[in-house]
Structure 1
Amino acid sequence: MTAQQTLNGKKLSVFDRKGLANLHKEIQEVYLSDTRPWVIGYSGGKDSTTALQLVWYALSELPEEKRTKPIFVISSDTLVETPVIVDYITNTLDRINKTAAEQKMPIKAFKLTPRIIDSFWVNLLGKGYPAPSTQFRWCTERLKISTADRFILESVTKYGEVVMILGVRKGESQTRDSVMDQYKIEGSKLSHHSRFPQSYVYTPIEEFSVDDVWTYLLQKPSPWGNSNRDLLALYKSASDGDCPLVVDKDTAPCGNSRFGCWVCTVVQKDRSMTALIESGEDWLEPLLEFRNELAETQVPENKHLYRDHRRMNGKIKAMQKGDNWEIIRGPYKFDYQKALLRKLLEAQMKVRKNGPNPNFTLILPEELFEIRRIWMTQKSDWDDSVAKIYQEVTGETLDWTKDDLGSFSKAEQELLQKICDAKKLPLRLVTKLIDVEQQMQGMTKRSSIYNRLGEVLSEDWLTEEEAKRQIANPNAVDKKRRGLRHE
């Protein structure tokens, strides 16, 4: 039976077709059928809340001696979540743990965060990754999938096999329905995990409609003490999107959802943030302005203003569009990375001043430390720009590591610039060669330095103007300089 079945022309709810008691019985049977621990994906949204609440009530009906199999509730914090949601999720996880202990439920909640090297700001500000788009959605893998994967793999290593409980419903999208049907195990309520052979998936609310979800939440109080009516209020005047725990690349972006990332540029317009501001949360305006600027960098006509003409690997490539050839743009220009960091810190200061939390953090100190390391070792940032910008914007300083600054500063870089101009050499080429030598100092084996130096020298060192001239006339550039590649 499906959610589309009707009686006298009226669509039947899942409760009409199956009944709450039968839903509980099914969950109990699946729980007791094996010894595999459960991992429940919880985003704080309506669907994941319904799934967790159903499981909680169903298992609470079992005798305590049968509630022995552990249940792990995991919530992914991308570190760029919509600010209104951050405290909501944190407080909820605390209530879940406290209430589960009091009721002797085998449930424990965890908030998962990406590794610092995978964080949004380290990749965007540190490495220069452009704002995510439908063509290059690099954020999902790093911020969500990998974060959940680590927990799942650790659980598999410890317990052998696990069952993922996901709050996904059929009818949300054809892609999602196809994935759910593809991995179903015949004669079982479980499905194979799409990527992990020792993991299974159970979807207790797959037959629920949106109306079923809200009917359930508004009639059954939260067992851990949350207000489901407050949850409903979070959805009012915004899209009815929910952002589930992302465990594969088929999950849609959540930029329109109150439970998505505030920096999301995969969607055209952040309706959620706009709705929050219109409903009185004026302190969020600096975040919306920052997000909209990131979106502007994706406009094809604007890319040359923000993004380098060289790719991440130092190569220059061009592609044909009609009768013309165009340079394929690479990461953000270093000067723009610095400008973005300054604007982010300024937005953080405004949010702290005008928002409800004077200590609210948009970027962690650990992320700043990693960005600083990347800039100094990979961008030849002899001016120590991260520390300088942070002090100028905040009036404060962090516990910056001093022994990694090397012997060069902005003064030496300015002198080197004059020498390079006189010799007609790219400053970036020379500083990268010097950086390689500095990084290899003190090593007992320095044979690999030749490979490192060779990699730098093999990059394309044409200026953007030279590259454009070579596109128009391949013989216009000195043959001793590296050329560009056509695709």
Structure 2
Amino acid sequence: MNKLLLAHDLADYESFINLEQFSGKPLAEYVAEVQRIYCMDSRPWIIGYSGGKDSTAVTTLVYLSLLGLPPELRKKEIFLITSDTLVETPVVVDLIKNSMQLIEKSAKRDKLPITQHSVTPKTNDTFWVNLLGKGYPAPTRSFRWCTERMKIDPVSDFIREKISHYNEVVILLGARSSESASRAQVIAKHRIDGSRLSRHTTLSNAFIYTPIDSWDTEEVWKLLRGAFRHSPHDIEEWENPWGGSNRPLWTLYMNSSTQGECPLVIDESTPSCGNSRFGCWTCTVVTKDKAMEGLIQNGEDWMLPLLQFRDLLAKTTEPEQKDIYRNFKRRNGKVTYQYAKEGEDIAAERKHIPGPYLLKYRKEWLRKLLELDKELRSQGHSISLITEPELHAIRQQWLRDPNEPDWADELPDIYREVYNEDLNWIIDDQSQFDVYDASLLTEIAEEYGASPEMIMKLIELEVSLEGISRRHGVFDKIGNILKQDWGSLESIEQSQADLQKRHERDIHALDICQIEAELKKVQDQILKAELQISSDTKALVNDN
């Protein structure tokens, strides 16, 4: 057995590293591999840290490897990043935050070039701005709009920023073949010949390194349990090399029925959440959030209202509930139906596709969310279920909703009624309408048989163009509003049926015109032939 050669600051861990076996090899071989790849070039490393067992194991392995290097070789920067969707399971958020801060603090003490960074989605891409603001339905397996906006994009932006500065980067992940066969296949497909690195599937100049891809779950926990058996006087059980304890992580897994972590998603090939792993407490991709249920059953009962709120959102995705909670129009203002499937009769009735959540339900859910946030804070929980920038963004989405513009501007009122205080709301005097304006418009529009919402959108367009010297494209914008489906679903369907009948008549009229044209052509040919025969007959008579 080859002992670890570079063990500069690893006196307490040296026996553990040299003797313990992982996937048939001593840990020393993995540490040596990490050291070799770290020292082979100047490309900085980015460690994807989700706070779960696998990413913690990778971070532990890297930390030990750097401790083994002499100080003059610890030059290359390592960025420890985590993706905070702003709706992560609260107990996991606290664990990640505390761990990352301790890692950075200890790395500074140990003279290791490790810094921690948390990335979040842009305000307009957060869960609440999309669901409560735009009315996006709660995510499902067939419409998982959250992963790319909330996880992939923020991480990708961070990676691109580092690539622009360093030209190339290496991303370290805790992916293991035994846990994600599909991920293992993707990594193997992009593996560089003769190298432990793989090319990133979508980001050029980014490379993937998975140092524990051959380990099983027991081996991951063996590393996290630590070197206490080999250094009982210096290292406690579950102690990690940066001086923290992995026992809370172990307890978290036990309390949640060992559901697992939600990995740091860096591209679409990375397994997303949706199988009850630790992730977003709002996740509705799964039928039941077993991880949160496990935490509640094991003492975190203060999270029960969160689970109930999540279940409320999940219920709205049931097929029989969609028409109750969702607008009959899409956000483009059109009533939409499913396309005919292969082999189906084109004339068969099509299934109606509902649009965004109705504004009244979004207002109701926001109030419940704010009340829940206030209640949890009053109980002493350091938690923020929704941020102030999100509230401002949701308000703007409501004011300019494509189907139900909220001229009543109720969001500030809802916030005030819950918290008995105000935020610094933006007031746009130029385009500020109120309930009286909406009521008056409704009354006038009904007299002329017009849709009040359509008139509102036309007025909004006019106000938005006020003061602009050149109104380029204004008629196209007006046309787009007029082309939307306005009125009730019944009236729209009746209008479409009438158009279909007229269209069918138009088709028959076209057929008739074509037949008449053909008949005229035949008649002309007959007349021409008759004239030719008459001419030939006269010529024959004259010759005789």
Deviation at 1:447, TM superposition (A): 2.2
* Residue 230 to residue 463, structure 1, CA distance change in 2 (3 Å): same
| 3-state secondary structure, aligned to 2:136 | coil
2-side partners of 1:129 and 1:255: how far apart?
18
1-side partners of 2:104 and 2:479: how far apart?
55
Identity %: 44
Deviation at 1:153, TM superposition (A): 0.2
* Residue 126 to residue 478, structure 1, CA distance change in 2 (3 Å): farther
**Cα deviation digits, residues 419-462 of structure 1 (max 9, x gap):** 12222222211111111111111223222322222221121224
Aligned to 1:374: 397
Match of 2:306 among 283, 287, 301: 287
Q: Is the 8 A contact 1:470 1:477 kept in 2?
A: no
For structure 1, the residue ranges without an aligned partner over 5 or more in a row are: 1-12, 480-487
2-side partners of 1:167 and 1:450: how far apart?
54
Q: Which deviates more from structure 2 when the two are superposed, residues 404-413 or residues 379-388?
A: 404-413
**Cα deviation digits, residues 32-67 of structure 1 (max 9, x gap):** 111110000000000000001101101110000001
Q: 1:184-195 alignment to 2 at 5 Å?
A: 184-195=191-202
Deviation at 1:475, TM superposition (A): 5.8
**Cα deviation digits, residues 253-310 of structure 1 (max 9, x gap):** 3245563000001111111111121112222122111111111111011100011111
- Give the residue type in structure 1 aligned to 2:479: G
1-side partners of 2:247 and 2:430: how far apart?
53
Match of 2:268 among 233, 240, 249: 249
**Matched residue pairs, number?**
464
Aligned to 2:248: 230
2-side partners of 1:449 and 1:377: how far apart?
18
Deviation at 1:384, TM superposition (A): 1.1
Deviation at 1:87, TM superposition (A): 1.7
**Cα deviation digits, residues 66-99 of structure 1 (max 9, x gap):** 0101000000100000011122211112111111
- Give the residue type in structure 2 aligned to 1:207: S
Q: Is the 8 A contact 2:486 2:492 kept in 1?
A: no
Q: Is the 8 A contact 1:82 1:258 kept in 2?
A: no
Deviation at 1:343, TM superposition (A): 1.6
Deviation at 1:364, TM superposition (A): 0.3
**Larger RCO of the pair (alpha carbons < 8 Å, separation 6+):** 1
- Give the residue type in structure 1 aligned to 2:244: N
| 3-state secondary structure, aligned to 2:431 | coil
1-side partners of 2:209 and 2:71: how far apart?
23
* Residue 443 to residue 223, structure 1, CA distance change in 2 (3 Å): farther
* Residue 61 to residue 404, structure 1, CA distance change in 2 (3 Å): farther
2-side partners of 1:374 and 1:245: how far apart?
29
Aligned to 1:273: 292
Aligned to 1:262: 281
Q: 1:390-409 alignment to 2 at 5 Å?
A: 390-403=415-428, 406-409=431-434
Q: Report whether the alignment pairs 1:386 with 2:411.
A: yes
| 3-state secondary structure, aligned to 1:96 | helix
2-side partners of 1:241 and 1:97: how far apart?
24
Q: Report whether the alignment pairs 1:350 with 2:350.
A: no
Q: 1:58-73 alignment to 2 at 5 Å?
A: 58-73=65-80
For structure 2, the residue ranges without an aligned partner over 5 or more in a row are: 1-19, 228-238, 504-544
1-side partners of 2:44 and 2:176: how far apart?
22
Aligned-residue Cα RMSD (Å) equals 2.0
Q: Is the 8 A contact 1:50 1:217 kept in 2?
A: yes
* Residue 104 to residue 467, structure 1, CA distance change in 2 (3 Å): same
Aligned to 2:38: 31
Q: Which deviates more from structure 2 when the two are superposed, residues 442-451 or residues 310-319?
A: 442-451
Q: Report whether the alignment pairs 1:326 with 2:345.
A: no
Deviation at 1:155, TM superposition (A): 0.3
Aligned to 1:104: 111
Aligned to 2:447: 422
Q: Is the 8 A contact 2:23 2:214 kept in 1?
A: no
| TM-score under structure 1 length normalisation | 0.91
1-side partners of 2:113 and 2:441: how far apart?
64
- Give the residue type in structure 2 aligned to 1:376: L
Deviation at 1:251, TM superposition (A): 3.0
Match of 1:154 among 155, 161, 164: 161
2-side partners of 1:329 and 1:175: how far apart?
33
Q: 1:195-206 alignment to 2 at 5 Å?
A: 195-206=202-213
2-side partners of 1:297 and 1:16: how far apart?
46
2-side partners of 1:257 and 1:210: how far apart?
17
- Give the residue type in structure 2 aligned to 1:156: I
* Residue 457 to residue 205, structure 1, CA distance change in 2 (3 Å): same
Aligned to 2:28: 21
| 3-state secondary structure, aligned to 2:46 | strand
* Residue 421 to residue 226, structure 1, CA distance change in 2 (3 Å): farther
Q: Which deviates more from structure 2 when the two are superposed, residues 335-344 or residues 321-330?
A: 321-330
Match of 1:182 among 189, 198, 212: 189
* Residue 420 to residue 63, structure 1, CA distance change in 2 (3 Å): same
1-side partners of 2:279 and 2:23: how far apart?
32
2-side partners of 1:54 and 1:257: how far apart?
27
1-side partners of 2:432 and 2:225: how far apart?
64
2-side partners of 1:49 and 1:404: how far apart?
52
Q: Which deviates more from structure 2 when the two are superposed, residues 331-340 or residues 99-108?
A: 331-340
Q: Which deviates more from structure 2 when the two are superposed, residues 106-115 or residues 324-333?
A: 324-333
Q: Report whether the alignment pairs 1:316 with 2:335.
A: yes
Structure with bigger gyration radius: 2
